């Protein structure tokens, strides 16, 4: 099995991974591995209960550093205070799994074992190196739904903790419902988002992604090779940047980015309806989708058969509405960013679109060279000139590009508003 490419999303970050007792400790091993592969400098602390499910040796092997298992363990600590030393200079504590018992301890401020003691000792003031607490609950569905647990979770949130999850599904006890700890990949995505800069905090962003499918008959249609990867990467990057994100997606087979609201459509008309119903409520519109310019004038009721005929059926086309132009023409339009997927003369075609649709920014790329791929190169075109992403004209993976583009858009949006 090949591993996914390593993306150093957490390079330079110092994290504390804290485990409390629960069967979900087996997931913490994979989370530990993912955090290290993402570049984090990781220390692990385990409660007595956690050690019933997974050994400190496993976490030490995965983190590459000794695991702290007791507040009385002074080995390697000159001042015999591991609970203090672990949090000084840390960027966050990730409590995963967080059992109902551990959540209750933290809500009450109890600190009679190493995990709760470490969480309680973390700095809370920004001026003293604020250390966020990210909590991933893991418990039986009835325990999660119990009023006492919900009160405790509400208290954690009020005290500044960020609660990640829980998920719903099959549980180790054989029951089904809310309470599962998020899968490690989902937790990693949430952790990266939590530690990202927030230039779009409080902003609402509407993004279109993927192709459209224009039906000819019940089984055939006109479409294009857009994979939707760039639009989905932008949705994730905008969410990481603090925005509330709605993603209108054409027919693609991609997982929805964490924390993003998704609306699935097929045709250009459906995409237009979905966008125009929402555009006025958003401050930023990024039209990444490769919307079909044309659609069949008539939809055949049944599959068009060859029936031995040598001549193909006549296919009369009509033009689809221009979604981006319609949004840009609204009385109070959002800040509109267009995409131009071209096969030649990229800068000229992107600038023509900028002028014709009266947009503040158009992002150009060579469609045939990037459709379906995981990397890309972008050309930003505005009234003042052109700018390449990456700056040296090379290629980068689409999430890296999306983050850079979101940062650039956030800067422009701040100036425009």
Of residues 299 and 332, the one with the higher pLDDT is 332
**Position 330 pLDDT exceeds 50:** yes
Mean pLDDT computed over every residue of the chain: 91
pLDDT of residue 343: 73
Residue found under tokens 């947009």 = 359
Same domain for 125 and 221? no
The last residue of a domain, from among 172, 194, 216: 194
| 350-357: average pLDDT | 91
Of residues 200 and 390, the one with the higher pLDDT is 200
Residue 161 and residue 316: Cα distance in Å, rounded?
59
Q: Between the CA of residue 360 and those of 53, 72, 106, 285, 385, what are the distances in Å?
A: 56, 60, 49, 11, 11
pLDDT of residue 344: 77
Residue 127: asked if its preceding bond is cis (omega within 30°), the reply is no
Residue 306, annotated as binding a ligand: no
Task: Determine contact, residues 163/137, Cβ cutoff 8 Å.
Answer: yes
Same domain for 18 and 83? yes
Of 114-123, 318-327, 369-378, minimum mean pLDDT range: 369-378
Same domain for 267 and 338? yes
pLDDT of residue 6: 65
Which helix (H) or strand (E) covers residue 163, if one does? strand 162-163
pLDDT band at residue 351 using 50, 70 and 90 as cut-offs = very high
Residue 341 within a domain: yes
Same domain for 123 and 255? no
Residue found under tokens 């600038």 = 351
Residue 68 and residue 243: Cα distance in Å, rounded?
37
Residue found under tokens 């006549």 = 314
pLDDT band at residue 304 using 50, 70 and 90 as cut-offs = confident
Residue 339, annotated as binding a ligand: yes
Same domain for 189 and 219? no
**Position 75 pLDDT exceeds 70:** no
| 288-293: average pLDDT | 93
Residue 361 and residue 346: Cα distance in Å, rounded?
14
Of residues 83 and 288, the one with the higher pLDDT is 288
Helix (H, G, I), strand (E, B) or coil at 244: strand
Q: 262 phi and psi, to 5 degrees?
A: -115, 135
pLDDT of residue 134: 98
How many structural domains is the chain composed of? 2
Burial classification of residue 263, based on how many CB atoms lie within 10 Å of its CB (0-12 exposed, 13-18 middle, 19 or more buried): middle
Known catalytic residues are 173
Same domain for 344 and 254? yes
Same domain for 393 and 252? yes
Same domain for 375 and 406? yes
Give me the half-sphere count of Cα atoms (radius 13 Å) on the Cβ side of residue 317.
Answer: 10
Residue 266 and residue 259: Cα distance in Å, rounded?
22
Helix (H, G, I), strand (E, B) or coil at 44: strand
pLDDT of residue 303: 87
| 366-375: average pLDDT | 71
The last residue of a domain, from among 194, 218, 253: 194
| 43-58: average pLDDT | 96
pLDDT in tens, 171-182: 888 889 999 999
The β-bridge relationship of strands 244-249 and 261-264 is parallel
Please, which residues bridge with residue 15 across strands? 42, 92
| 86-99: average pLDDT | 94
Q: Which two tokens stand for residue 75?
A: 């080995």
Q: Which two tokens stand for residue 218?
A: 């019940």
Residue 309, annotated as binding a ligand: no
Residue 119 within a domain: yes
pLDDT band at residue 76 using 50, 70 and 90 as cut-offs = low
Residue 299 within a domain: no
Residue found under tokens 């496993």 = 58
CATH at residue 30: 3.40.50.1950
Residue 199 within a domain: no
Residue 81 and residue 77: Cα distance in Å, rounded?
7
| 350-359: average pLDDT | 91
Query: For the whole model, what pTM was predicted?
Result: 0.91
CATH at residue 381: 3.40.50.10300
pLDDT band at residue 1 using 50, 70 and 90 as cut-offs = very low
Residue 369 within a domain: yes
Residue 179 within a domain: yes
**Position 5 pLDDT exceeds 90:** no
| 267-274: average pLDDT | 97
Same domain for 324 and 371? yes
Residue 376 within a domain: yes
Residue 392, annotated as binding a ligand: no
Same domain for 232 and 104? no
CA angle, 169 then 166 then 122, to 5°: 155
| 6-21: average pLDDT | 92
The last residue of a domain, from among 162, 194, 226: 194
pLDDT in tens, 112-156: 999 999 999 998 876 667 899 999 999 999 999 999 999 999 999
pLDDT band at residue 245 using 50, 70 and 90 as cut-offs = very high
**Position 2 pLDDT exceeds 50:** no
Same domain for 143 and 257? no
Cα–Cα nearest to 43, from 13, 79, 20? 13
Cα–Cα nearest to 255, from 278, 279, 235? 235
Cα–Cα nearest to 247, from 280, 282, 217? 282
Same domain for 190 and 284? no
Q: Residue 368 sits in which domain range?
A: 204-294+316-416
Residue 303 within a domain: no
> Is the Cα torsion angle 29, 27, 191, 179 positive or negative in sign?
negative
pLDDT band at residue 238 using 50, 70 and 90 as cut-offs = very high
């Amino acid at each position: 099995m090949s591993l996914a490419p390593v993306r150093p999303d957490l390079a330079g970050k110092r994290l504390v991974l804290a485990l409390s007792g629960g069967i979900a400790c087996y997931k913490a091993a994979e989370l530990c591995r993912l955090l290290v592969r993402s570049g984090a400098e990781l220390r692990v602390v385990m409660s007595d209960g956690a050690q019933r499910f997974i050994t400190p040796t496993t976490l030490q092997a995965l983190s590459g550093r000794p695991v702290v298992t007791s507040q009385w363990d002074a080995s390697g600590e000159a001042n015999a205070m591991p609970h203090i030393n672990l949090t000084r200079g840390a960027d966050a504590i990730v409590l995963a799994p967080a059992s109902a018992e551990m959540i209750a301890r933290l809500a009450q401020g109890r600190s009679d074992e190493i995990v709760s003691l470490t969480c309680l000792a973390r700095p809370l003031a920004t001026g003293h190196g604020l250390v966020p607490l990210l909590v991933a609950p893991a418990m039986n569905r009835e325990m999660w739904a119990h009023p006492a647990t919900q009160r405790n979770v509400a208290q954690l949130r009020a005290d500044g903790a960020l609660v990640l999850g829980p998920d719903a599904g099959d549980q180790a006890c054989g029951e089904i419902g809310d309470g599962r700890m998020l899968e490690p990949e989902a937790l990693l995505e949430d952790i990266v988002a939590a530690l990202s800069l927030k230039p779009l905090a409080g902003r609402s962003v509407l993004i279109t992604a993927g192709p459209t499918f224009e039906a000819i008959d019940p089984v055939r249609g006109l479409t294009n090779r857009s994979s939707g990867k760039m639009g989905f990467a932008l949705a994730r990057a905008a969410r990481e940047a603090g925005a509330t994100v709605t993603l209108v997606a054409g027919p693609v087979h991609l997982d929805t980015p964490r924390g993003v609201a998704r609306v699935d459509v097929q045709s250009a008309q459906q995409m237009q309806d979905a966008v125009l119903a929402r555009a006025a409520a958003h401050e930023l519109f990024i039209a990444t989708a490769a919307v079909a310019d044309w659609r069949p004038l008539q939809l055949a009721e049944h599959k068009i058969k060859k029936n031995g005929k040598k001549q193909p059926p006549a296919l009369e086309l009509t033009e689809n509405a221009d979604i981006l132009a319609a949004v840009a023409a609204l009385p109070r339009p959002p800040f509109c960013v267009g995409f131009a997927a071209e096969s030649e003369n990229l800068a000229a075609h992107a600038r023509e679109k900028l002028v014709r649709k009266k947009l503040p920014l158009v992002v150009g790329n060579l469609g045939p060279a990037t459709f379906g791929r995981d990397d890309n190169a972008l050309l930003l075109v505005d009234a003042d000139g052109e700018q390449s992403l990456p700056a040296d004209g090379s290629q980068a993976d689409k999430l890296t590009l999306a983050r850079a583009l979101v940062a650039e858009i956030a800067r422009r949006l701040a100036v425009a508003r």
